[in-house]
Every structure is written in structure tokens, then in C-alpha cells.
Amino acid sequence: MTTDYAVHAEAIRKRYGDKRDKLGKRGVKHALDGFDLAVRTGTVHGLLGPNGAGKTTAVRALATLLKLDGGRATVAGVDVDRDPRTVRSLIGLTGQYAAVDELLTGRQNLEMFGRLFHLGGRRAALRAGELLEQFDLTDAAAKGVGEYSGGMRRRLDLAASMILAPRVLFLDEPTTGLDPRGRGEVWDAVRALVAGGTTVLLTTQYLDEADKLASHITVIDRGRAIADDTPAQLKNTVGGDRIEVVVYESHELPAAAEVVARVAGSAPGTDTEARRVHAPVSDRVAALTEVARELRDRGIAVEDISLRRPSLDDVFLRLTGHRTEVAA
């Protein structure tokens, strides 16, 4: 094990007690079933998977909130089973919902958390001031948290998790329920944390969030890692650029498909309900120009024509057989 990895898990397992299936038979549910994970120091690492795949269980186990039933895991080089107390001193954890007190001001919340971490009154006040500035909350420091927007609350929640400047921060779906502006505010805060040296393990169902923040992604399903690579490489596994044509009238789909097939050099896919035809292309700009010209020359009325690169949603669909429950 080297310091290159802030989080490292090898074949970790977590099972939950005997449960009866639909036929009345007892069985053990494996939330984690030989899960492997390697998170490089100083990065944002995305952990993606459908509901029930084991994302939250993995985070809770790595944060020492659950006892593993097998395998080995270290955080910041410390074994989570052998020395959980030390691990807790090195990490921060932010769950899906803000844990701040709405009856207190932003500053009072952070000072309270500082005291809970035994910083003492003066040091807690100093740390609160530093975090308010770091998370761009100084102007709202004296306001009650009940007056904060969703994004501001999540930023305050992140600030609270940074009281002791943890080396590793676990973010479990931190932007659930936020509007686009609030999500953007949290993204900026996460980027600032990583720039300051914190390693972040991010679980999310918003695939654009993982795409924008994470330099590496692990996809988990049924308690196991089924893919692990950079966002770009994961997209490459799906294929290259695709040209898509949407016609105004369904009866023109065959003619449009003929045009696309000739230019792309392969049989296109057709979605009758969406009046859409699509196919992979190599020379994206030339293909778009040629298809548009031939469609016009043949008098085929087009509602939309575009080039589309694979998305993480396409990767997710290919790997798990369905799209995420929260569409990106």
C-alpha cells in the first residue's frame, strides 16, 4: 500500500441478516460482495450505481459506521477495522440531507460543531470564520439558516464537515433535491476543497455531476465494482460520435435512414416513436454536412439533426441494463 491512494478497499463484504424471499426461503443479502475500490489522493472519485447497488453501504463501511464482514479497507493508510478511532479523526462525512440547525445562524452552527470537536471557544470561533470565508458564506454568517437557500445550506453542511480539515471527505449524494444553481454552488465548493488537498469520494445519481467533478469513476452494481476508469475512457467503451436525425413525419424515416446509412457506412438504429434515426460516424463534421445536404436535396423535412457524443448515462445503461433513477 502506498500513499498514492487515500482510500483502498480489497474484496470487502457486508451482509445483512437472514431474510425470507418470495417463496419463504431464508437467505442472506450481500450489500457488498467482494467490492474493490482505489481512490487516488487529492482527487474526486465518483461512485455510481443504481439504488440498492451498495453505494451508501460502502461509504458507511469506509467511514467506520458499519463493521465489515470480510475483506480489507484502509483510509489515509489506516485500517478501518483495526483502528476506526484514528480513521474517524482523518475523515469528514456529509450525507444526503443537511445536518445543520435552522434555528441557529451560519456562524453559530460552525462554532457549535467546533465545540463538539473539542476545539475550545476561541479556536472554534476562528475556525468558523475561516470556513465561512472559504465557502463564500461570510455575508450570510449572521443570518438564521432557515433563511438560507438549498445551495447555501449544503455549503454550510460541507463547511461543518471540514471543521478538522479532514484528509478524506465522503460525500453521499450531496446535491439531492437542489436546483441547478444550488448544485453549481456545491460543485464549486467541492472543487475548492480538492484544490486545498482534500480527497473526495462522491456518490451520486446525477451523472453530469460525476462527469464534471470526478477524475475517476467506479460503477457498482449488486455489491461489486463492474467498471473502473476515467469518465472519458468509460464513454469510449460505448462507442464514438453518433449522428442523430429527427424527421417531422414518421413516413419519412425509411428515407432518412437510407441517407444516414450511406454516409455512416453502417446500418442505423431507428426509433419510430421518436421519429429518430441514428448511427455512429468517424468524421463527425463531414458526416453532419453530408447528411444535412442530402436530406435537403431529397426534400426530407427534418425537425432536428445533431452530433452526439456518448454520455455517462449511455455507459450506465450499457453496464447495468437501465438508466439512472435520477436522469442527468
Grid cell of 110 as nine digits: 460552525
Whether 283 is covered by a domain: the verdict is yes
Based on the fold, state whether residues 144 and 257 are members of the same structural domain. Answer: no
Count up the domains in the chain and report the number.
2
218 and 125 belong to one structural domain = yes
Nearest of 157, 153, 207, 202 to residue 182 by alpha carbon: 153
Phi and psi angles of residue 114, each rounded to the nearest 5 degrees, phi first: -60, -40
pLDDT in tens, the chain (328 residues): 456 899 999 999 999 865 555 555 656 688 999 999 999 999 999 999 888 889 999 999 999 999 999 999 999 999 999 999 999 999 988 876 667 888 999 999 999 999 988 889 999 999 999 999 988 899 999 999 999 998 898 889 888 888 888 899 999 888 877 788 878 888 888 898 899 899 999 998 888 899 999 999 999 999 999 999 999 899 888 777 889 999 999 999 999 999 999 999 988 989 999 999 999 888 888 999 999 999 999 999 999 999 888 888 888 888 887 656 544 3
Dist. CA 43–CA 218, nearest whole Å = 13
Which pLDDT does position 147 carry in this prediction? 93
- Domain annotation covers residue 7: no
User: Same domain, yes or no, for 183 and 255?
Assistant: no
Residue 138 β-bridge partners: none
The answer as to whether 104 is a domain residue is yes
Where would I find the beta strands (DSSP E) of the chain?
5-20, 26-40, 44-48, 70-75, 78-79, 91-94, 168-172, 199-203, 216-221, 224-229, 242-247, 269-271, 276-280, 302-308
DSSP-assigned states of every residue in 25-78: -EEEEEEEEEEEEEEETTSEEEEE--TTSSHHHHHHHHTTSS--SEEEEEETTE
Show the domain range for 224: 41-69+77-236
Same domain, 188 and 246: no
Q: Is position 85 within any domain?
A: yes
Residues 140 and 106 in one domain: yes
Judging by beta carbons within 10 Å of its beta carbon (0-12, 13-18, 19+), is residue 303 exposed, middle or buried? exposed
Task: With CA atoms as reference, report the closest residue to 59 among 83, 78, 31.
Answer: 31
Using only C-alpha atoms, the chain has a radius of gyration, in whole angstroms, of: 24
Residues 226 and 109 in one domain: yes
pLDDT of residue 1: 45
Residues 162 and 196 in one domain: yes
| In the block, residue with C-alpha cell 476515467 | 230
3-class SS of residue 294: helix
pLDDT score recorded for residue 24: 59
Residues 219-248: tens digit of each pLDDT? 999 999 999 999 989 988 877 788 999 999
Q: Which amino acid is at 277?
A: V
Cα-flanking dihedrals φ and ψ of residue 118, to 5°? 60, 35
Q: What is the pLDDT of residue 21?
A: 55
Residue 35 lies in a domain: no
Q: Are residues 166 and 195 in the same domain?
A: yes
pLDDT at 324: 60
Residue 57: the pLDDT is: 94
Q: Are residues 220 and 82 in the same domain?
A: yes
Per-residue model confidence (pLDDT) at position 188: 87
CATH code of residue 268: 3.30.70
pTM assigned to the model: 0.77
Residue 184 lies in a domain: yes
- Those residues whose C-beta lies under 8 Å from the C-beta of residue 134, and which sit 6 or more positions away, are 159, 162, 192
Shared domain check, 117 and 59: yes
